[in-house]
Each structure stands twice: as C-alpha cells, then as structure tokens.
C-alpha cells in the first residue's frame, strides 16, 4: 500500500510540474538466470512485483489522467522471452508472459477512451541488465542437479561472447523504437514492436501475427471487436 501511495503521489507531482501527461514508458525491470527450481518463492514474488505489479501500479497512476483527456500512450517494455521460452530464464520469462497479457487486456479496456497501450519486445543486449541478473538462492536444492548446475553460467558466458561479435545488436535501437512509437500518429501504432538483430525477430514476428489474427477472430465471435480499434478524438 505504501509503494502504491508513493507512486500515485509521485505521478501527481510529475503531472503538476510538467503541466500534463502524454506518454508513459514502463521500462523498469530485472532479469533472472539460473535453474528455475533454485529460486525461492520469495525471490519469484520480488521479480513479479517489479516486472509485473510495478507496471500495474504505474498504469493505475496515470490512466485516470489519460482517460480524462481522451488521449495518451503507454509503452510497456516486454521481451522476446515474453513470447517464447528458453531454459535458465524461467522466472523472468514468466513475468514477461504476464506483462504481455496484462498489456493486451489494458489495450482493449482503455481503447475507447483514446488511450493506446503497446509493447516493445527486445531481444538480448549487452547492457548492465546482464550484471544485475537475479540468480537462484537455493544452492542446496541446486546441488541435486550435479554438474548440470554449472550449465546456466556456461551458456550465459557464451551468450555474452556472441553479443560481443554482433555490434548490430545495439541497445540504442530499443530507444529508437520507443521514439518511433511516440512519433507515430495515434491509431497507426503497431501493437507489438520487435527489436532484435540476432535471429529471433522473424520467428517471434510470425507468432505475433498469428496471435493478432486469432485474437481478432475471438473478439469478433464475442461481438467486441470494436475494442481492438483505438477511438480517436
């Protein structure tokens, strides 16, 4: 409750200082790397609190303003691991899957108030995010995996080495994608923007296209397909 109160008061102060609000970018988050069984329940809850509940707190803080003015944009930074699963990223991937569906639900629920909710799905980048990865704390439990318990660290080293050879995987391109979404006229923004240059963009893009088609069909079947179109002032 205290955190939610602070978020609400901080948002109010920011809106007052800036004279309004147009865009919210939810980018705060933490990654995980390790065998999923080694994460305690408390660790999992902390990761979900930041990556998912934190986004919810911020959206609750800004949506009354955006709905009242009948316009606004929310950009939630997800991950390609919110669309597919890879070993050793289990808790992180679970939070991003949750963020994806939370964003999709919000997108439909606030579309008729002129508020756009979109997702950016980056791949892996060589940033301080890697240094801050949360590792599993239950080392006694991991001892049951024997030598396999060393595999996550080995694969992470390999990934970092690979990223060192791929300058095109530049984190600045994620910022560029965010700016492009902000500059794109309301009603013309894609629901999902993939940012990856090491081979994951195409398969995830195919998944996104299929999901969009399936979602449109379900909404139409339930007679609520108008919620998939942003209502413009």
Distance CA 51, CA 27 (A): 9
Token readout for 99 is 């963020």
Residue 173: partners with Cβ closer than 8 Å, 6 or more residues away: 195, 197
With CA atoms as reference, report the closest residue to 24 among 68, 56, 50: 56
* Domain limits, the chain: 22-228
Q: Where are the beta strands (DSSP E) in 51-180?
A: 72-77, 115-122
Catalytic position from the list 39, 92, 145, 219: 92
Domain boundaries 22-228, CATH class? alpha beta
State residue 157's pLDDT score.
Answer: 96
Predicted TM-score (pTM) of this structure? 0.95
In angstroms, the CA 206 to CA 187 distance is 22
Residue spans of the chain under pLDDT 70: none
Say whether 92 is catalytic: yes
Task: Note the pLDDT of residue 5.
Answer: 85
Contact 99, 55 (CB under 8 A): yes
Q: What distance in Å separates the CA atoms of residue 228 and residue 108, rounded to the nearest whole number? A: 6
């Amino acid at each position: 409750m205290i955190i939610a109160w602070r978020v609400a008061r901080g948002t109010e102060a920011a809106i007052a200082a800036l004279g309004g609000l147009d865009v919210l970018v939810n980018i705060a988050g933490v990654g995980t790397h390790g065998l999923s069984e080694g994460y305690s329940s408390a660790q999992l809850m902390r990761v979900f609190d930041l990556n998912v509940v934190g986004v919810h707190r911020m959206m609750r803080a800004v949506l009354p303003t955006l709905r009242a003015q009948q316009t606004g944009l929310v950009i939630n930074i997800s991950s390609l691991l919110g669309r597919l699963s890879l070993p050793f990223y289990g808790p992180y991937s679970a939070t991003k899957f949750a963020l994806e569906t939370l964003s999709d639900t919000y997108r439909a629920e606030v579309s008729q108030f002129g508020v756009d909710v979109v997702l950016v799905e980056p791949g892996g980048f060589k940033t301080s995010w890697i240094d801050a990865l949360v590792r599993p704390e239950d080392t006694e439990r991991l001892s049951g995996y024997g030598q396999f318990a060393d595999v996550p660290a080995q694969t992470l080293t390999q990934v970092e080495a690979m990223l060192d050879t791929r300058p095109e995987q530049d984190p600045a391109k994620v910022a560029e994608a965010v700016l492009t979404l902000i500059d794109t006229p309301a009603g013309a923004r894609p629901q999902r923007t993939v940012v990856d240059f090491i081979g994951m963009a195409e398969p995830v893009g195919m998944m996104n296209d299929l999901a969009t088609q399936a979602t449109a069909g379900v909404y139409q079947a339930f007679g609520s397909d108008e919620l998939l179109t942003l209502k413009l002032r």
